[in-house]
Amino acid sequence: MNLKKKTVLLIAALCILALVGGTAAYYTATSDVAVNTVKASNLKVEMMMMQEDGDGNQTPVTGDDAIINPGETYSRIAMVKNSGKETAWVRVKGDLMVNGDTISFVDNPYITLEDLNVDDWVWESGYFYYKKPLASGETTTPLFTGVTLAQDIDNEMAGAQINLQPVAEGTQVKHNGSSALEADGWPVE
């Protein structure tokens, strides 16, 4: 074999080696990429506002306006249902709207929550927290069963509109504290 053929074969071999070596380096560099797939849990809680119909049955509140006089008690049964697939910690934001102003359920001069359930719920920083984890399909015990308008409400409030506006929120129980008060992941206001 002459020198010219040897040189051409050597160059061809080096080109093939460079191509194979470059490809191997390329695959080696990209093989370090890790793909992590995370699937969000199915977490869904619903605020349920029921009323007693007078015969001992509970029916959903339809949103109709009700006129209530000072000193009267109005049936409102507040509960939360876990309609998701994951066990949840739940809390209820306790707000009233009085003529467009937002005030707290607790310590307000307008209403009293009847049969407020402090055995299963705890009030902390503007929320009622349910003390137990709520499994899929379960419903909390009632937070309260009625609302009483203050007897001594002044004449300035005649014809006022007072709206109960409880909002239920949930966060996962799994790997998330030993109580609703310790849990993370609550919606940010």
pLDDT tens digits, 82-99: 999 999 999 999 888 887
- Taking alpha carbons only, the member of 139, 151, 64, 53 closest to residue 109 is 151
Which of the two residues, 13 and 159, has the higher pLDDT score?
Answer: 159
Residues, the chain: 189
Per-domain residue ranges of the chain: 1-33, 45-172
For residue 7, the model assigns a pLDDT of 56
CATH architecture entry for 45-172: Sandwich (2.60)
CA distance 31 to 68: 70
Rg (CA), the chain: 32
pLDDT tens digits, 43-62: 899 999 998 888 889 988 87
- Taking alpha carbons only, the member of 7, 9, 27 closest to residue 17 is 9
Tokens for 98, please give them.
Answer: 């009085």
The amino acid present at 46, given as its one-letter code, is E
For residue 23, the model assigns a pLDDT of 46
The amino acid present at 65, given as its one-letter code, is D
CA distance 114 to 147: 6
For residue 124, the model assigns a pLDDT of 92
pTM score: 0.74
For residue 63, the model assigns a pLDDT of 66
